[in-house]
Chains A and B, each alone.
Chain A
Amino acid sequence: MRVKTTAVVAGLMLAAAACGGQSGDTKPSASGSAPAAKPLAGTTIEIAAKWTGEEQKSFQKVLDAFQEKSGAKVTYASTGEDTGAYLGPRIQGGNPPDVAVLPQPGLVQQYADQNALKPLSSEVQAQIDQNYTPYWKSLGSANGQVYGVLVKAAHKSLIWYRAPAFDDAGTQPATTWDELIKSAQTVADSGTTPFALCGASGWTLTDLFENVYLSTAGPDNYDKLSKHEIPWTDPSVTTALEKIGQIFGKKEYILGGSSGALQTDFPTCATQVYGQKKAAMVIEADFVATTAVQSGAKVGEDAKIMPFPKAGDTAPVVLGGDIAVALKESKGAMALLEYLASAEGGSVWAKNPGYLSPNRNVSPDNYPDPLTKQLAQTIISAGEAVRYDMSDLAPSAFGGTDGKGEWKDLQDFLRNPKDVKGTQDKLEADAAKAWKK
């Protein structure tokens, strides 16, 4: 079975290289010696992902390009917000989609344990080796097998600022943590609150922590802490928390003080910066752009970004993102995954709005706006040091539940930023409980 699929995919690649002179012959030959132009004609592939609206439209363009090239018919199914709840019953019912896009790496492990995933073919793996750092390959792997490929990224190492507020204060975007604190002080002196924090949405605090930690402790420690190989009581965590405490600990740095911040959900904090113009900066990912535009700000003019300042030796780049996996042993599924993992597919996608590629061979020039181009460049220049959102790698009881684990402990830290030691103890206790399960 495996061999046959491989042969077919090889045929597809040859066909693509031959620029499709022939037409009509749809039977892919098992030997691969006489490649057809559209080797997948007549095949139907179903792909399930959570994207809707603009994101779905952009993705559809990629699927159209793939259909054009391969002749296969691809149908898109929307999973809604809760991908697990959509896929679970379909897997149990024996009728999964050919390809699914999972929002968390944790699901890769979960479905691999249920034997619901098919290992990627060597062609797909070749694409991954060519276009991604080994870190991403291991992220899509479970139990020693490669199952998934990261197809779409969210850039989480950003600080959004309101340019007029910085101009009023006469300060510049920061490149180091100390500069950031100095800018914040200047902005505060000018009468504008520097930061709007979404303390009620715990994941915004974990994102902040991950950036500071990746920067101060480096990628190796980041990986260890992600897997709970070093405890949360480690001195490297102390350093990161103390840095964060420089912001959390100052009443005039946070809009509404810590009590106000803890009542603020995402994306309200972005609205506070760009809509109500009460604060100057919000520390969150690229998707703040949506809220900024809704609040009437122009991205690139008054809504600007600075890469997350270096708090230590590493310039942090933390990504979130979606991982595509095959749920059926079909030649179409592998062909589609190979296309999505390729620089070719990524470039088609990149020309459409609302997409950022983790693929290092997708040129930043493909992106339609300068902002995304800038983000793509930070990913490429960070190279091997790029890391995935740590809280999404943790068991969800620790890294993904309201009022529990890391979310709660960092919220408590925001409430009482002096208690670094106590925060670490609580984090370690919760982590130990979550990893034991």
Chain B
Amino acid sequence: MTERLDGPQTPRGGDDVARGASPGPDETTETKGEVTTHPALDDDVATGESGALPQLATGGPASPKARYGGSGNLGPAPKVAVFFLLPAVVLLGAWVVYPIVYSIIRSLYDANGGTFVGADNYAAIFSDSGTLTTIRNNLIWVVLAPSLVTALGLIFAVLTERIRWATAFKLVVFMPMAVSLLASGVIFRLVYEQDPDKGVANAVITSVHDLFASSSGYPGARPRENDQAPALVDKGAVVTRQAAQAGQPVLIPLVGMKPEALPSGAAAARSAPEAPGELSGTVWLDFTPGGGTANKIDGNEKGLPEVTVEAVSGGAVKATTTTAADGSFHFTGLPQGSYQVRLPQSNFTQPFSGVTWLGPTLITPAIIGAFIWVWAGFAMVLIAAGLSAIPRDALEAARIDGATEWQVFRSITIPLLSPVLLVVLVTMIINTLKVFDLVFVIAPGSVQPQANVIALEMWRVSFGGGGNQGLGSALAIFLLVLVLPFMAINIRRFRREQA
């Protein structure tokens, strides 16, 4: 369709130019032929595009510039040039060059700055296990965070192109950029709280979990921990200390629960009536404020209803029953003999308390999550800008040739976007290398060693209590060395774009 629409237009404009015979139709057939004869879409478009762009760029403005610089006459006089350069040189010198040079010098001295220690500080970086953890963490950061941010930004950018409320959506996703990193850290510290009543992450996880698994009736209930207690904990289950005989009521006193936490149907505990030849007993909450006799059913102590009770003999469960409202239970029809009475673990399982986000194992991924929340919007906006600059005809040509949306995305959109994606990726790598505030705020003091990164360690060592600015400077220089290659990539790319 497009070719046909273009077709008539070209001859109309071509009248004035009149270059060669009827260029319009020729052109259309040519392009059409080219696309159809190359089924390997990705190769064609990718190489064609990346090959053509630099040629155009270097060929045009570069040559006059070379002439301009080479003659020397057209530029300003050297004195004037120095005059104009001076402010920038002074500012850069005072704020960038001098601090770097001084940091390098300082990194060769000890904590007080008095003694020259050579490379000792650098050796300390690689010999201290705490600092090695920071390097490992930075590595995790650099591998995970930039790629995830870029990928997420790309997905958002591509998807928002298609929806009606794109601007509103972009606004929302971009919003975290307007919040300072410190504030984002405070927000995520709360998001990751262990208590589901406070931390939204665990609130979601526990409510989903509770949809599928109901919690048990008596979390926390346990027998007293002393030798007089008739029951004890064995592999999570509560078992009687002595074997029970039929005709002797079994007492299973439990503690560790508040009376208010009992189900509303719970009645005052009552020892099971002695029925000859029947195994029976009582499970009850054996706690009276201010006293009461341990292991005896006192006045208003309540029974635990609906507790599963098992009679075990020789390692096998012979019968199962549940307690009544007053906590009593009976096994009917059991053969004579001695049994162990067991309350299986399922009665006491703790309610699912969510994921320990702020614990030593998950802390770095959790902070990376916060980082992604902050920066995904930034990546999206940059990528969306790049996306809108992609020539539409390439996409449409591919679609006409029957490429699926996925093929178009993989083979056309991504290669055309790759310069932008690289910018985002490199910017994010530099950002992750110097990450500081999120780690400082989100990680609780107890897991700071596990969450630590180089920039934070540098601050801690030099100012936050360490007082060793020699080692701090060495860490700063180490960080600089890590960032340099990515800076170089960025600069080379800028130069290529400007050329």
Chain A residues packing against B (C-beta within 8 Å): 167-170, 185, 188-192, 199-202, 252, 256, 259-260, 262-265, 395-397, 400-404, 407-408, 411, 414-415, 437
Contacts and interface: CB of A to CB of B under 8 A. Distances in A.
Contacts of A185: 225
A402 B468 CA distance: 15
A265 B359 CA distance: 14
Contacts of B468: 397, 437
Given A170-B291, A252-B220, A403 B452 contact: yes
Residue among B261, B287, B444, B449 with max Cβ neighbours from chain A (10 Å):
B444
Contacts of A264: 444
Contacts of A170: 288-291
A252 B221 CA distance: 11
A397 B460 CA distance: 9
Contacts, number: 99
B445 A265 contact: yes
A189 B254 CA distance: 9
Contacts of B257: 191
Interface residues of B, number: 36
B258 interface: yes
A192 B258 contact: yes
B289 A202 contact: no
Nearest to A402: B445
10 nearest A-B residue pairs (beta carbon): A170-B290, A401-B465, A403-B448, A191-B258, A200-B444, A262-B446, A189-B255, A411-B446, A396-B465, A403-B449
Contacts of B225: 185
A191 B466 contact: no
Nearest to A189: B255
Given A190-B287, A263-B444, A401-B464, 18 more contacts: A170-B289, A190-B255, A190-B258, A191-B256, A191-B258, A200-B445, A262-B446, A263-B194, A263-B358, A265-B444, A396-B467, A397-B466, A403-B448, A404-B130, A404-B460, A404-B465, A407-B445, A414-B446
DSSP class of B's interface residues: helix, strand, loop or mixed?
loop
Nearest to A433: B128
Contacts of A401: 460, 464-466
Contact of B256 (A252, A400, A402, A404): A252
Interface in B179-230: 193-195, 220, 222, 224-225
Contacts of B291: 170
Given A191-B261, A260-B194, A403-B460, A201 B445 contact: yes
A164 to B, nearest CB: 11
A167 B194 contact: no
B445 A168 contact: no
B88 to A, nearest CB: 29
Interface of B: 111, 130, 193-195, 220, 222, 224-225, 255-259, 261, 287-291, 356, 358-359, 444-449, 452, 460, 464-468
A202 B464 contact: no
A362 to B, nearest CB: 33
B465 A400 contact: yes
Contacts of B111: 437
Contact of A199 (B255, B287, B288, B446): B446
Contact of B287 (A189, A260, A403): A189
Contacts of A395: 467
A402 B448 contact: yes
A83 to B, nearest CB: 14
Contacts of B464: 401-402
A437 B448 CA distance: 23
A262 B447 contact: yes
A412 to B, nearest CB: 9
A189 B258 contact: no
A191 B220 contact: yes
A419 to B, nearest CB: 15
A400 B448 CA distance: 14
Contacts of A265: 444-445
Nearest to A200: B444
Nearest to B226: A185
B359 A188 contact: no
26 contacts: A168-B289, A170-B288, A170-B290, A170-B291, A189-B224, A189-B255, A191-B256, A191-B287, A199-B446, A200-B444, A200-B446, A259-B359, A263-B358, A264-B444, A396-B466, A397-B466, A401-B460, A402-B445, A402-B460, A402-B464, A402-B465, A404-B130, A404-B460, A404-B465, A407-B445, A411-B446
A260 B220 CA distance: 16
Contacts of B193: 263
A411 B356 CA distance: 16
Residue among B222, B289, B445, B464 with max Cβ neighbours from chain A (10 Å):
B445
A227 to B, nearest CB: 18
B355 to A, nearest CB: 11
Nearest to A408: B449
A194 to B, nearest CB: 11
A411 B448 CA distance: 11
Contacts of A259: 194, 356, 359
A341 B259 CA distance: 54
Nearest to B449: A403
A199 B444 CA distance: 9
Residue among A190, A191, A262, A400 with max Cβ neighbours from chain B (10 Å):
A191
Nearest to B255: A189
A256 B290 contact: no
